[in-house]
Amino acid sequence: MLTNIKTKAGKLLPIDFSQWKVDEDSTCKILDEIDGNLVLENKSGHIASICKHLIQDNLIRITKDYIDIKGLYHHYFIKNYLANDKHKMNRLFENHVALIFQHRDLVLNKAEYYLLNPDILSSGGMYIGGFKYSLGSLFESIESGNHYYYDEIDGHKELYLVSMASSPLSGSVFKALFWSDHEKQLLRLEKNLSGVKSPSIGVFHKMVAFSSFTIDEQTKALQQLINEINDRNEISALE
């Protein structure tokens, strides 16, 4: 079932969340039994290994090749899976960050890309805590022309603010992460910004804040984005 998410700029992006969420049905297919562990597959195609004694201790019945693991499902197929998938997505993002920042338009055209939220997209300040935001909301702010932008800081040019940590009382910025369109890389500055107007954590929050829409299959979505970028580059090379 398609749902439209509305971006900060008012653009509607269709998405079928069932394709990007882990299925919550706790009935799993038994694929194998190895060293006293049952190898199970859920309806999303994810695989987990669970000790057979644990299943027996919870009085869970096995029906032919299927088993409803009930309360164990959340731990093995949701909590563990999401933690592992987020780790893999962050590694994939780090390895392709320059490529992704140079193709911001693709992120802004598909909901599953817009909703990606790698760990670097986190900012905050003393006494007020932190906040996270999506790749799409950051890119949309950058493309709006109203984002924190600096022509030059410490010799680095064409800088867009990506994340920051500051004190809302003094206004001091302890560290900041920027994307440089000139150097085509992320730059981390871990000192007070000198010679420029320091960004406000409150204003930055308003720039990048977005709704609570999320997807579970972050690595799948990011790999799809990278594949699309590579296809685009291959076509451009042939022209």
Residues 26-83: tens digit of each pLDDT: 999 999 999 999 999 999 999 999 999 999 888 888 888 999 998 899 999 999 999 9
Residues 105 and 221 in one domain: yes
Residues 50 and 105 in one domain: no
The answer to whether position 84 is within a domain reads no
Whole-angstrom distance, CA of residue 170 vs CA of residue 212: 30
Residues 119 and 195 in one domain: yes
| pLDDT reported for residue 192 | 62
The secondary element (H helix, E strand) that includes residue 112 is: helix 111-114
* Cβ(150)–Cβ(196) below 8 Å: yes
The answer to whether position 87 is within a domain reads no
Residues 57 and 140 in one domain: no
Q: Which amino acid is at 19?
A: Q
Q: Which residues of 135-166 are buried (b: 16+ CB within 10 A; e: fewer)?
A: bbbbbbbbeeeebbebeebeebeebbbbbbbb
- Count up the domains in the chain and report the number: 2
Residues 116 and 152 in one domain: yes
3-state secondary structure of 89: helix
| pLDDT reported for residue 172 | 72
Whole-angstrom distance, CA of residue 133 vs CA of residue 140: 12
6: β partners: 12
Q: Which amino acid is at 213?
A: F
* Cβ(173)–Cβ(193) below 8 Å: yes
Residue 186's CB is within 10 A of a number of other CB atoms, namely 16
Residues 118 and 196 in one domain: yes
> Helices in 29-110 by DSSP H: which ranges?
52-57, 72-73, 80-101, 104-107
The answer to whether position 139 is within a domain reads yes
Residues 220 and 114 in one domain: yes
The answer to whether position 35 is within a domain reads yes
Residues 108 and 204 in one domain: yes
Q: Strands, E, within 73-194: which ranges? A: 122-125, 129-132, 149-153, 156-166, 173-180, 185-189
The answer to whether position 10 is within a domain reads no
* Cβ(165)–Cβ(124) below 8 Å: yes
- For residue 217, what are the domain limits? 95-233
| pLDDT reported for residue 170 | 63
The answer to whether position 48 is within a domain reads yes
Residues 228 and 136 in one domain: yes
Phi, psi of 28 (to 5 degrees): -125, 155
Residues 38 and 108 in one domain: no
Residues 131 and 44 in one domain: no
| pLDDT reported for residue 161 | 96
Residues 142 and 197 in one domain: yes
Positions of the chain with pLDDT under 70:
127-128, 168-171, 191-196
